[in-house]
Structure formats: C-alpha cells, structure tokens
Amino acid sequence: MKMKALVYHGEHNIALEEVEKPVLKRPGDAIVKITKTTICGTDLGIYKGKNPEVADGRILGHEGIGIVESVGEGVTNFKPGDKVLISCVTPCGTCDNCRKQLYSHCRDEEGGWKFGYMINGTQAEYVRVPFADNSLYKYPETISDEVAVMLSDALPTGHEIGVQYGKVKVGDTIAIVGAGPVGMGVLLTSQLYSPSNIIVIDFDKNRLELAKELGATHTIVPSENLVEDVKKIAGPDGVDVAIEAVGMPATWDTCQKIVKAGGNIAVVGVHGKKVDFDVQNLWIKNLTITTGLVNTNTTPLLINGVSTGKLPVSKLITHKFDLSDIMNAYDTFLNASDTKAMKLLIDAEK
C-alpha cells in the first residue's frame, strides 16, 4: 500500500512522493495514522545539508499527532483507535541511559532522536513508532489537536533544556536570546515557574511582538548597546538565567556577557561552529553552563500544565497547510522573516 510522504534526497532536494506505507517490524512498534504534523528548524537544517549522514530517501519530520492503526504484540498501553501525541524521542526504557532518564541518548539503534533522521519520520500519512509504550502519549480533550503537536518537541525542548537546566525559579530575571519556535517554547514554559522578568532578544520585530503576546515582559532588538540595554532591565549585575536559543557564536557571546555571578547559561540552540568561551572573564563568576538534547521526560508534566489552558500555546501556530501542499509550507518556513512564520501546522489527512 502506498502513502504520501515528504522525502529527502540530499542537500536542498526534498519532494512529496508516493512511498510504501510502513509496517510493524518489532514487537514494541505501533503504526500511527498521522492527522497533524509540523516542520521544525532541525528539518530545515537537514534540508540545507547540515546533517549529511541523513540517508537519501529518508522521510523527514519528528513531531505530530495521530490515531493508532495497529500495534505489535509487545505493546500494552495503546490499542487501535487511540488518539495519541507522538514524542520526538523514542526511548527503549531499559538501557543505562534510559534508566537515568537520558532518553535522547538511548543506546538502541532506533532509540533517542531518530525520527526524520535515522528512521522515517512524521511528515507523512503514516509512521512506524518504535517503543510505542514509551513514545506515545494520550492527552485530554482540554488540549486541542493543534496545541498537542507543540508538545512533541518545541515545548519539551524549551522546558527541559532551557528552563529546567537553566534552573529558572520564582522571581528570576531571565533573558531568552532568540525568538524562534524553541525560544518561544522557553518563554511559555518558563512562566510555569513565575520569573519576575522575561526578556526576549531577537532581530525580528514580528517575533518580538508575538513574544509580548505570549508573556514576555520586555523585548529588545540587538544593537551595539545590547549588554547595557539588558542591564537597564535586569540591574547592573545582569540576568539570573541567560538562555541561548539560536546556535550562533554571536548569541552565545551575548549570553556570556549578560549573566550575573552565580547565574546560569542554558544552551538550547544547535551549534555548528566554534564559539569563543571567555573563560578569562567567566572563571570567577561561579556560573553553571548547561547543554543538552531534549529527553521528553517532562512531557507528562507539560501535558498536565497545558491542559489548564493558561498558556497561549496556540498562538505559536501562524500558518496552516495540507500535506499535499507541504512543499509550499517548507518555502514559507524557509522565508520566515518575510512570511512571519513561527510554527506551521500540516494537516496530513488532506
């Protein structure tokens, strides 16, 4: 049986094609009929050739929701017909890293972040989900399908790697450098911890306007006076937590200049180039600097938190497309500064 899927054929070469529908391979697998998916910045990185290890013919995507169509004999928590959220990480649950909740570093060949990377992903009509009992989540009716898609990756990444690793706490002043989808995920989930000031820094004024709608107390367009502008808000010592959400040398440099003694720098952005680590200035500051890849161990917590409806998650979605029009969706996201795109919802049933 054939299905439609977005297929990668090398740098700057993707196409919507008819491919074979996935089948169960292992006892813990589930086949899920995708209802909605989205495009992540990581997908754009693969498209641009940032990950040459991705195989020709790979179906992209690692976020989505759907309906369980079939399950392997080892699946106990789900059955055909269940509506589910698909996690971007597929943990085996039994290796040493999984036992430490380092699910993104699962040692199984199909464990960790593999969707749309090392195994076929979610930008398709169907997907095979390894370790379904650990990789799928049911969610309450109080969470819309559109919001549920944001719980696959954007919100858990922002929450775990930005907020939790950054140790955001009540009364803190935090700075989020980068107002892309993951930066917005940091912005939203940080509010669960009641910081006093949330500063969002970005060149894109449209994204800064959205950041204000989502709860930012201050926004800044970078200039040569950026450090001084931040300290006018945070005080002369700087911010308690600086969260790098872009993955560029300049944004890292901003973070190391604006954080106060005893503070935290949480690196969320995906870095592809070396950065200057000013240890000659930082060694004395008693900083905690963290990096990481999302483990999705807080997904159940976020499902509960988002189900209250208090966080305006749906405002992250700026555009909607049918799967048949996904090539235009990629073009829209690639030109986000002009199209004002943040998260694009892809309806896989059309």
Token pair, residue 349, equals: 């049933």
| Same domain flag for 13 and 137 | yes
Contact 241, 175 (CB under 8 A): yes
Q: What is the pLDDT of residue 1?
A: 92
Pair (34, 118) in one structural domain: yes
SS3 276: coil
Give the angle subtended at the CA of 182 by the CAs of 96 and 60, to the nearest 5°: 70
* Residues 266, 304 within the same domain: no
SS3 label, residue 306: helix
User: In the prediction, which pLDDT does 301 show?
Assistant: 95
Is 287 found in the same domain as 159? Answer: yes
Q: How far apart are CA 78 and CA 96, in angstroms?
A: 25
Separation between Cα atoms, residue 208 and residue 243, nearest integer Å: 16
Do 232 and 342 lie in a common domain?
no
Number of domains in the chain: 2
Q: What's the CATH code of the domain at 204?
A: 3.40.50.720
The order of strands in the sheet holding 2-8 is 14-20, 2-8, 58-59
Query: Of 243, 276, 291, at which residue does a domain stop?
Result: 291
Length of the chain: 350
Q: Give pLDDT, residue 317.
A: 96
Same domain, 96 and 109: yes
- Domain of 73, CATH number, reads 3.90.180.10
**Structural domain boundaries, residue 6:** 2-153+295-347
Tell me the sheet residues that pair with 290: 266
Does residue 191 share a domain with residue 62? no
Q: Give the sign of the dihedral formed by CA 132, CA 138, CA 143, CA 145.
A: positive
- pLDDT score of 188: 97
Residue 268 sits in the same domain as residue 148: no
Torsions phi, psi for 39 (to 5 deg): -115, 135
Among 252, 273, 291, which residue terminates a domain?
291
Q: Greatest CA separation found in the chain? A: 64
Same-domain pairing of 188 and 262:
yes
- Do residues 93 and 147 both lie within one domain? yes
**Residue 104 per-residue DSSP state:** G
Give the H/E segment covering residue 251.
helix 249-258
For 225, half-sphere exposure in the C-beta direction (CA atoms, 13 angstrom radius) is 5
pLDDT at 289: 98
Please check whether residues 56 and 119 belong to one and the same domain: yes
Separation of alpha carbons 275 and 246, rounded Å: 13
Q: Pairing state of beta strands 343-347 and 317-322?
A: parallel
Contact call for residues 63 and 53 (beta carbons, < 8 A): no
Cβ within 8 Å of residue 24, ≥6 positions away: 30, 31, 70, 71, 72, 128
Per-residue model confidence (pLDDT) at position 350: 82
Instruction: Spell out the residues 6+ positions from residue 171 whose beta carbon is closer than 8 angstroms to its own.
Output: 194, 195, 196
Please give the pLDDT value at position 218: 98
pLDDT at 310: 84
- In tens digits, what is the pLDDT along the chain, a chain of 350 residues? 999 999 999 999 999 999 999 999 999 999 999 999 999 999 999 999 989 999 999 999 999 999 999 999 999 999 999 999 999 999 999 999 999 999 999 999 999 999 999 999 999 999 999 999 999 999 999 999 999 999 999 999 999 999 999 999 999 999 999 999 999 999 999 999 999 999 999 999 999 999 999 999 999 999 999 999 999 999 999 999 999 999 999 999 999 999 999 999 999 998 888 999 999 999 999 999 999 999 999 999 999 999 998 889 999 999 999 999 999 999 999 999 899 999 999 999 98
In the chain, the amino acid numbered 290 is T
Non-local (6+) Cβ contacts of 273 within 8 A are 248, 249
Q: How far apart are CA 272 and CA 325, in angstroms?
A: 30
Same domain for 342 and 326: yes
Contact between residue 337 and residue 309 where contact means Cβ atoms under 8 Å apart? no
State how far the Cα of 40 lies from the Cα of 257, in Å rounded to an integer: 29
Domain boundary among 251, 270, 291: 291
